[in-house]
Chains A and B, each alone.
Chain A
């Protein structure tokens, strides 16, 4: 157990509304990641963070923003949700101090955009 929680675990929202997903970790890991999982695609990286206020884009970052004001929290925001953002979202941490250490995942958030 890497001490990762995600909230909410499930959310249904309407197109055009803003949505924020939270990832919280208790073990002071430096690197944190947001992935999305869609049928037929495995998991794909949205954004990642390498420290407080240090973030960068991943493979599928369009339509998403992130923030990290504290080591323990990494927020993913959909400024104006679209149906194509219906997905399961996973947060992950990198176990050691480096970004190429093994990643452990949170329990996921299922987001439905109507």
Chain B
């Protein structure tokens, strides 16, 4: 069974600075996706970024980028130039592309506070 671990329950960062959120996962599969989702106080789950395991290049989306280390089973999220609107819970998630359900396995989340 796959597991996803987010070891930082809470983090804070000053506005305009950079912060990195950690995520590790455990799987014996080779074909999978990894995701970061953001959940602001509105409760909406918002996709931040997606990484395909077969791609060596790290995914980026504007101020968000990942550091994907497949051998180490690590998938961290870097937020550059942090903004107040980045304040949210961030969830790391795993999807086995070879599975029968296509369901996401989530970590427990990291609460990020961006301070002015």
Residues of A within 8 A of B (CB): 31, 33, 35, 40-45, 48, 56, 58-59, 88, 90, 92, 94, 98-105, 107-108, 110
Contact = CB atoms under 8 A, between A and B. Distances in A.
Contacts, number: 61
Contacts of B45: 43, 90, 92, 105, 108
Nearest to A40: B108
A44 to B, nearest CB: 7
In this complex, the interface size class of chain B, counting residues with CB under 8 Å from chain A, is 20 to 34
Contacts of A40: 108
Contacts of B106: 42-44
B108 A41 contact: yes
Given A40-B108, A43-B91, A98-B102, A107 B47 contact: no
B95 A105 contact: no
Contacts of A92: 45, 104
B56 interface: no
A103 B34 CA distance: 12
B100 to A, nearest CB: 8
B91 A42 contact: yes
B101 A45 contact: yes
Contact of B103 (A58, A101, A102, A105): A58
Given A42-B91, A43-B91, A88-B43, A103 B104 contact: yes
A102 B50 contact: yes
Given A42-B91, A43-B106, A102 B47 contact: yes
A108 B104 CA distance: 16
B104 A45 contact: yes
A33 B103 CA distance: 8
B44 interface: yes
B33 interface: yes
B43 A48 contact: no
Contact of A43 (B33, B50, B102, B104): B104
Contacts of B50: 102
Contacts of A90: 45
Nearest to A90: B45
7 smallest CB-CB distances across A and B, nearest first, come from: A99-B102, A42-B106, A105-B45, A45-B103, A100-B97, A43-B106, A100-B102
